[in-house]
Amino acid sequence: MKPISTRQLYRIVVEAARAAEIAKRVGPHTLRHSFATHLLEDGTDIRIIQVLLGHAKLNNTALYAKVATRTVRTVTSPLDELGLFRPAEISPDG
């Protein structure tokens, strides 16, 4: 029961990408980045992702896990919550 080597892990990832017909160059770091990005997209708190990735600084996690467009679109501005910018209702009379 010995841990696999870095080289073995790399080969496994490359073979999995080949089997999935992924043409891009991939490695273990690709999986790590994808893992963090998917967690972020699914709404996992970035501080939890920081712990899972073993980062000492939150800045490292923020750079590592790019914020997906889908995640950014779901954020509601505090200004929107105030209701100050709602379009005026048009009366039936015109």
- Return the H-helix or E-strand segment holding 12: helix 6-19
**Structure tokens given for 24:** 């891009």
- Bigger pLDDT: 39 or 68? 39
Domain that holds residue 16: 6-67
Instruction: Please report whether residue 86 resides in a domain.
Output: no
Instruction: Please report whether residue 89 resides in a domain.
Output: no
Residues whose CB falls within 8 Å of the CB of residue 16, separated by 6 or more in sequence, listed in order: none
Instruction: Please report whether residue 83 resides in a domain.
Output: no
Reduced to 3 states (helix: H, G, I; strand: E, B; else coil), residue 2 is coil
Instruction: Please report whether residue 51 resides in a domain.
Output: yes
- Bigger pLDDT: 59 or 87? 59
pLDDT in tens, 39-57: 888 888 889 999 999 999 9
Give the pLDDT band of residue 61 (cuts 50, 70, 90). confident
pLDDT of residue 56: 93
Alpha-carbon gap, residue 41 to 29, rounded angstroms: 18
Alpha-carbon gap, residue 69 to 52, rounded angstroms: 22
Structural domains in the chain (count) = 1
Alpha-carbon gap, residue 65 to 42, rounded angstroms: 12
Give the pLDDT band of residue 14 (cuts 50, 70, 90). very high
